[in-house]
Chain A
Amino acid sequence: MLSIFFKRLLLAIPVLIVVASITFFLVRLAPGGPFDAEKAVSEQVMKNLNEVYNLNAPLSEQYFDYMSGVLVGDFGPSFRFPGRSVTELIMTGLPVTFELAIYSMLIALFIGVLSGVTAALKRNTFLDYIPMSIAMIGICVPTFLLGPLLVLIFGINLELLPVSGWDQLPGDKILPSITLGFAYAAYIARLSRGGMLEILNQDFIRTARAKGLSETRVVTKHAMQGGLIPVVSFLGPAVAGLLAGSFVVETIFQIPGLGRFYVEAAFNRDYTMILGTTIFFSFMIVVFNLLSDILALWLNPRSRDV
């Protein structure tokens, strides 16, 4: 158990280094310098700009400078926001995105597990069909369509909820969290239904019922622990999806989070910002994958003694 953990951890480090290096060189490969889009500046100004951002140094030197900065959490200055560092920008956006992700995941887990488990218990009844049909919709309607449709219905036509912003509680949080969480609720519902169906057919569940445990206890104590392992394994990869989703949701609802910063940086060709956020995102995703794998291993009694 512990050895698996360290093995995975050891593997994660070279992966992150490779990702950071590839990203660094890809960004340097980009045609044109970072300041080409600026109003025509004199050669001297350009030279000074390059000097300030250390772009005149040999590539290898730039690389080692950058990588040693990354090690201590310094992603260098932003090309587009003079005087602000990428780390600063990330730290401004991160709490917002984190908050959005938490709300969405809570919604997704609550709705998903509840409807998935119910569907498995009431298999082939309308309590199975209806949630599973809705889940199919959740998988087929993309976030960037669901969000605007919700805005159109609840924000513009019914005027019930604000259509953008992130200040008011709870008004501003409702639509973005539902938009981002819906697809995950759908996946989680399907996963927990599948996992529960498999577990409910097993002998130890029959034994538990035979010794006279109440159905609630059988389900919550015995079946759900194993039946929800697929959901736990899904949570790690879901973080990557949540990040991608936050690009869209934060753009639609004009939420000042990391996702929107990233999309804006992509448009402004703010190379250091793209570079920094990419490395940061990769780090988060690798860490969350590791955590969800460990949690799934720990929950699965069959792998516990290994």
Chain B
Amino acid sequence: MSNSSSLWSDALSRLLKNKAAVAGALILVILITLALLAPWIAPYPYAYQDLDLGASAPSSAHLLGTDVLGRDLFSRILYGARISLLVGFIATTVALIIGVSWGIIAGYFGGKIDSVMMRIVDVLYGLPFIIFIILLMVIFGRNLWLLFLAIGAIEWLTMARIVRAQVLTLKNQEFVLAAQAMGVSNFSMFRRHLLPNILGPIAVYATLTIPQVMLLESFLSFLGLGIQPPMSSWGTLIKDGVESMEEYSWLLVYPGLTFTITLFALNFFGDGLRDALDPKTSD
């Protein structure tokens, strides 16, 4: 046990030395806090309209200006953060659950089961999933939970491959053989013996999946097929911003900036985590 905790503390000290990763983590912590506290710190409710005011440039009353309906942009970005981050975390969790179970089962049992399961992954890899999501959104309506599930259900493939590869290297090691000899059940083999040993790569890949998922959500919202008004994600804010960018460029610039900074933070943190947990792959 002491050995494994020193692995994690080694990783932590490596991570702390990586300035980009630390900066990314800080930005994320601040952002998540702001998003969670949005109802208390947002200066205006997200749907509050000041129609007389209309679109106004950033001022002391409206930190980042207002949109054409007189809605406070800063408040809307804060509330949008809730949706965008929520999609990121929930869809990634869905992807994690499917991908990890799939990978562990395929890798551990091997043989026919493995080759069939991984063949399925190969086949799914080649399909135009984005089109299927659009299809689902069109057919079943723009339901938030359906969106989470659909995005999560397509992002698990790489996770399954990574987990399987890890399990393949683990399953012939002594501790696994010892556990098998002691008659440990399959489930507790997965949970107690395999999973703890592959948490590193899982954490890394999960961190890198979140920005992918957020991009996908905002892509759909931008096309008008994702989050529907009056709710707003960063994708819908950018969409609105584009529509009025000629006169009111701040409506595009601030949501775009927030989104880009968040994606940067997630990517830097994810890369840092990878380097810290697996020094071999960092070049």
Q: Name A's B-contacting residues (CB within 8 A).
A: 11, 15, 19, 23, 26-27, 29-31, 136, 139-145, 148-149, 151-152, 156, 194, 197, 236-237, 240, 243-244, 247-248, 251-252, 262-263, 266-267, 269, 274, 277-278, 281-282, 285-286, 289
Ordered by A's residue number, 20 sampled pairs between the chains whose C-beta atoms are within 8 Å are A23-B135, A26-B136, A26-B139, A30-B139, A142-B215, A145-B259, A145-B260, A156-B245, A237-B125, A243-B128, A243-B130, A243-B131, A244-B128, A248-B223, A262-B134, A266-B134, A278-B132, A281-B128, A281-B131, A286-B126
Instruction: Kindly list chain B residues whose C-beta atoms are within 8 Å of the C-beta of A145.
Output: 238, 252, 256, 259-260
Cβ B246 vs Cβ A156 within 8 A = yes
A251 to B223, CA, bound (A): 8
Cβ B249 vs Cβ A248 within 8 A = no
Could you say which of A23, A152, A197 contacts B245, with CB atoms under 8 Å apart? A152
Instruction: Kindly list chain A residues whose C-beta atoms are within 8 Å of the C-beta of B263.
Output: 140-142
A236 to B128, CA, bound (A): 12
**B156 contacts the other chain (CB 8 A):** no
Q: In the assembled complex, how far is the CB of residue B242 from the closest CB belonging to chain A, in whole angstroms?
A: 4
**B54 contacts the other chain (CB 8 A):** no
Cβ A252 vs Cβ B264 within 8 A = no
Q: Name B's A-contacting residues (CB within 8 A).
A: 123, 125-128, 130-132, 134-140, 211, 215, 218-219, 222-225, 235, 238-239, 241-242, 245-246, 249, 252, 256, 259-260, 263-264, 267, 283
A145 to B254, CA, bound (A): 11
Q: Which 6 A-B pairs have the closest CB atoms?
A: A30-B139, A140-B263, A144-B222, A244-B130, A148-B242, A289-B126
Cβ A27 vs Cβ B283 within 8 A = no
Q: In the assembled complex, how far is the CB of residue A196 from the closest CB belonging to chain B, in whole angstroms?
A: 11
Could you say which of A27, A148, A194 contacts B139, with CB atoms under 8 Å apart? A27
Could you say which of B130, B219, B283 contacts A240, with CB atoms under 8 Å apart? B130
Q: In the assembled complex, how far is the CB of residue A238 from the closest CB belonging to chain B, in whole angstroms?
A: 12
Cβ B127 vs Cβ A282 within 8 A = yes
Instruction: Kindly list chain B residues whose C-beta atoms are within 8 Å of the C-beta of A140.
Output: 211, 260, 263-264, 267
Instruction: Kindly list chain A residues whose C-beta atoms are within 8 Å of the C-beta of B125.
Output: 237, 289
Q: In the assembled complex, how far is the CB of residue A157 from the closest CB belonging to chain B, in whole angstroms?
A: 9
- Take A266-B134, A278-B128, A286-B126 as given contacts and tell me if A248 and B219 are in contact as well, using a CB distance cutoff of 8 Å: yes
A140 to B135, CA, bound (A): 26
Instruction: Kindly list chain B residues whose C-beta atoms are within 8 Å of the C-beta of A136.
Output: 264, 267
Cβ B249 vs Cβ A152 within 8 A = yes
A26 to B132, CA, bound (A): 10
